[in-house]
Amino acid sequence: MTDYNAIDRLTAQLSRAQSGASERQADVAGRLHRARRVVVLSGAGISVASGIGTYRGAGGLWENPELLEAHQVESLPDSLPIIWSVKGPMRARALAARPNPAHMALVKLERQLVGRGGSLTIITQNIDGLHQRAGNTEVLEMHGSMMRSRCYDRMCALKPFEDTYAPPAGEVPICPRCQVQPLRPDVVLFGEALPWSVISAAESALHQAEVLLVVGTSGAVSSATTTIDSAAAYGVYCVLINKEPWDHPHPHVNETLLGPAEEVLPRLVFLADAQAGPA
Ligand code: APR
């Protein structure tokens, strides 16, 4: 019978030898190997290899000041045509996209942790649903989901619902319940509160975690920095995995591994699986 575990171990050792995993990567892999509870905070960078763009930096959505302005809560409801003109195509792109090796590595990490009685919680700033589609089971959507819509009128009886309709430019869909008010994507705009149930679940996961992996985020919004602050308050070891260093390094980040998430994460998870980190 094929011994898949042995193959995995061998592949991991080869992978390490060939790719020249650094001592720092090996140290983080060792921590993942010893941990029972791990939390990941993910941002737009983790979905880049799936063809979904980032918000900041060259080519980022917020380079266009009109779009940035439209996504402020004070701009509602007049900005809904612009919001839908962005979120409609984003929805279509996300539906067509596939989880990439970074997402899949987190599925593998969850299996490793669950296999030894632990857990992996993903707190994501992303609204593309790719972690769930990859197969992770504990995903907390801090900024909502573009795969859901809700009525603009909070008093309307319509609950947020799964919605795959990508309206063409210029169309603002109308609420199917009240048939008066416009629909809006069920996402958190600038100036809106983060969902309390998500914050509370995230806090509870961090409280029990040994390691926090912060992946593919610029750390420009407070949801990232406050997550790291909370982790530090609970004594959680924090590792930043990002393509580039942060403009303002966070004092509670213990380790930074620079590189594309779709390369760094699979390598770390392989190494952790092979118990290649320091014991
Ligand atoms: N692997 C790892 N990191 C990457 C990759 C990659 N392949 N590609 C890009 N990055 C990094 C960039 O270097 C950048 O630091 O991902 C980061 C993306 O930063 P942002 O675009 O600011 O995305 P994010 O941090 O998730 O934004 C947070 O801001 O506008 C709001 O609600 C929006 O959720 C979003 C939030």
> 3-state SS of 22-58?
CHHHHHHHHHHHHCCEEEEEECHHHHHHHCCCCCCCC
Ligand 1 mutation target, pool 242, 250, 253, most atoms within 8 A of CB: 242
Atom 29 of ligand 1, residue of closest alpha carbon:
221
Domains located in the chain, CATH noted: 22-52+99-143+193-274 (3.40.50.1220), 53-96+144-187 (3.30.1600.10)
Length of the chain: 279
- Residue pair 108/159 in contact (Cβ under 8 Å)? The answer is no
Predicted local distance difference test score (pLDDT) of residue 170 = 87
Tell me the C-alpha distance between 201 and 130, whole Å.
20
Mind listing the pLDDT tens digit for each residue in 208-243? 999 999 999 999 999 999 999 999 999 999 999 999
- What does the pLDDT average to over 55-59? 90
Mind listing the pLDDT tens digit for each residue in 89-145? 999 999 999 999 999 999 999 999 999 999 999 999 999 999 999 999 999 999 999
Atom 16 of ligand 1, residue of closest alpha carbon:
45
Catalytic residue among 143, 207, 248, 252: 143
Q: Is 143 a catalytic residue?
A: yes
Atom 14 of ligand 1, residue of closest alpha carbon:
218
Q: How far is the CA of 135 from the centre of ligand 1 (A)?
A: 22
Predicted local distance difference test score (pLDDT) of residue 18 = 45
Q: Provide the whole-model pTM.
A: 0.91
Give the percent of the chain with pLDDT over 90: 87
Predicted local distance difference test score (pLDDT) of residue 274 = 86
Average pLDDT, whole number, for the chain?
92
User: Is residue 17's pLDDT more than 50?
Assistant: no
Q: How far is the CA of 182 from the centre of ligand 1 (A)?
A: 29
162 Cβ closer than 6 Å to some ligand 1 atom: no
